[in-house]
Structure 1
Amino acid sequence: MHNKNFDVIIIGGSYAGLSAGMSLGRSLRNVLIINEGKPCNRQTPHSHNFITHDGKTPREIAELAKADVEQYKTVYFFDGRAVKLIKSGNSYEAEVSSGERFYAKKIILASGIKDIMPDIPGFAECWGISVLHCPYCHGYEVKNEVTGILANGDMAFEFSKLIFNMTKKLTLFTNGKSSLTQEQTKKLKDHDISLNEDEMESIEHENGQIQKIIFKNGNTAALKALYAKIPFEQNIEGSENLNYELTEHGFIKVDFMQKTTVPGLFACGDNVSMMRSVANAVAQGNLAGAMVNKELSEEEF
């Protein structure tokens, strides 16, 4: 790639990054989208709750989106991973895995997050298929089925309320001693939600479809779906020296314009919001692109 200097570099070319790229391409900005091609929903067979694309595969939506963005000739793509981001004065430098360096006035982090899988054999293979993170994305397809929740404490209690709306055949698995309060436990019992404190040994599955949970004490539980709240980390290398702030939950802290706490650095998508959905990523990317263009316009006028 001959051009090394851009108005904006976008780290991540999934839904948020592509949406930001379109917004900027339509604003005649020179944009580079650096994309490794490993979205966190790559194992999910169908994406839901995004109007006009309900039920399509994640890959299909991403390919349609990229084809749309490619029509804007000031938007360029680099297939690879950004390994280092450096702020120098009022501009940024991005180094990629090949050793090449690119420069821009603004950066948009649309890099998503990296899920940290629990040490339960079978869990990772089922993630996004029958082990689910979101009732809005996948709940309708397993409505009224025998369902579990893997979580503990306040989060488990709040999650149970949401999933109880989708099915009454519900068990909360705390995978060890429950940390719910007596009041919370009573509320679950009042709604016939079972509480299971057995520690999980593994998940038996067929091509990612749960058959049953096997516990360390030899017990088993047959299930159709399991919702899980698991930890995550930011999916961006070499950005520590930018010193952007994270929220208490580990998301990149942004304001209503998708600005981080660092001037010229914006973020959008799963890395800033617990509302993990294609629709939300697209909306945030669209806004981030517009706000970056607005900032550039004000600086240049």
Structure 2
Amino acid sequence: MIYDCAIIGGGPAGLNAALVLGRARRNVALIDNDRPRNAVTHASHGFITRDGVTPAEFRRVAYEEVLRYPSVDHLRAEIVSVGKIGSGFALLDSSGRRTQARKLILATGVKEIFPEIAGLYPLYGKSLFNCPYCDGWELRDRPLVLVSEHPSVYHVAKLLLNWSKDLIVCTNGLASLSEEQTGKLQAKGVAVKEQPVTAFIGSHGQLERVRFADGTELPRTGGFVTPRFVQSTPFAEQLGCERTELGGVRTDALGRTSVPGVYAAGDASYFSPSQLIYAAADGSRSAMSVNLDLTEEDFES
């Protein structure tokens, strides 16, 4: 069987794309390795009617809705390679199974690369996060820390003051703040620490202190750590898709990549902000583009 569209990735972008294409009566292979990036998150926020939903519950309800449409097949598999075959695409999974499709949506998401700081991972998703819009409310008015090696540290620090005025900004040994920016933050009561952070100290998922390279420690009860994002799969590179300056898959306004027949949706495309509602909307957009292009091809053939 040759599917109308194969979707790699079962996050909100891939799920919403499958929903739209299923409702358009397209034969869809929704391929998911069942390893969602937000599995460590206790709750997802910012999605109207779904605010506070757990990632597991979101996926359960989404799959239940998507698989009501008989033209959508859910394939639990790890795709290892993709390539062109004729006018379509062939996808090979780790079991040796090959799936063919006329169109391909990359909804593969990203991987987070965090600074190497002891104690981070036991606290991540509980009292340390990366997105203020996702988790700032839960940490409101608490003593917070922002650890960021990214040039956006100044912007994020200003944002965080909407949730808490008790903020320490740490550049982890990098000169990512100008003297002017440091002065402006300090004028707002924000402490700036430029030396490296060596450890997050806490228990039962709750941050208690931040330790610095000189051995000093400061009490904090929550915070944000800025990761570096990279593509979670090599498929865009295998297919020759153009990339953005940040590393996302470059698309036009309808989700088409530079490779005809290949579309990208969700975090893999725009990299930030990483929110359910953005990704789901992007999946819907790309699915409509796929259906439009298939319709034009079939009508003219």
Q: TM-score range by the shorter chain?
A: over 0.9
| Counterpart among 104, 109, 115 of residue 112 in structure 1 | 109
* 1:74-114 CA-partner distances (Å, limit 9, x unpaired): 00011121110001232000001111001001000011101
* 1:157-208 CA-partner distances (Å, limit 9, x unpaired): 1111111111100110111143311111111111111001221222122233
Q: Which residue of 2 aligns with 1:87?
A: 84
Q: Which residue of 1 aligns with 2:143?
A: 146
More moved, 121-130 vs 102-111: 121-130
1:279 aligns with 2:249: no
Q: Which residue of 2 aligns with 1:288?
A: 286
Q: Which residue of 2 aligns with 1:33?
A: 30
- Percent identity over the alignment is 35
1:230 aligns with 2:231: no
Does the 8 Å contact 2:266/2:279 carry over to 1? yes
SS at match of 2:158: helix
Does the 8 Å contact 2:209/2:217 carry over to 1? yes
* 1:225-266 CA-partner distances (Å, limit 9, x unpaired): 221221121111455331101111111111110111111000
Matches within 5 A, 1:191-230: 191-230=188-227
Does the 8 Å contact 1:153/1:180 carry over to 2? no
| Counterpart among 29, 52, 57 of residue 54 in structure 2 | 57
Partner letter of residue 73 of structure 2?
Y
Partner letter of residue 267 of structure 1?
A
* 1:42-93 CA-partner distances (Å, limit 9, x unpaired): 1000111111011111110111001000100000011121110001232000
Q: Which residue of 2 aligns with 1:299?
A: 297
Change (3 A) 1:238 1:136: closer
Q: Which residue of 1 aligns with 2:123?
A: 126
| Counterpart among 8, 15, 34 of residue 11 in structure 1 | 8
Q: Which residue of 2 aligns with 1:22?
A: 19
Query: Once superposed, which parts of structure 1, at least 4 consecutive aligned residues long, lie more than 3 Å away?
Result: none
Matches within 5 A, 1:151-190: 151-152=148-149, 154-190=151-187
Q: Alpha-carbon deviation of 1:138?
A: 0.7
Q: Which residue of 2 aligns with 1:269?
A: 266
Q: Alpha-carbon deviation of 1:155?
A: 1.0
Partner letter of residue 221 of structure 2?
K
Partner letter of residue 103 of structure 1?
Q
Structure 1 residue ranges without an equivalent (≥5): none
| Counterpart among 25, 40, 44 of residue 43 in structure 1 | 40
Partner letter of residue 287 of structure 1?
R
Partner letter of residue 68 of structure 1?
E
Change (3 A) 1:159 1:31: same
CA distance in 1, matches of 2:3, 2:170: 50
Does the 8 Å contact 1:108/1:266 carry over to 2? yes
Q: Alpha-carbon deviation of 1:153?
A: 6.0
How many pairs are equivalent?
Answer: 298
More moved, 233-242 vs 75-84: 233-242
CA distance in 1, matches of 2:96, 2:234: 14
Does the 8 Å contact 1:212/1:220 carry over to 2? yes
1:251 aligns with 2:231: no
Structure 2 residue ranges without an equivalent (≥5): none
Partner letter of residue 282 of structure 2?
Q
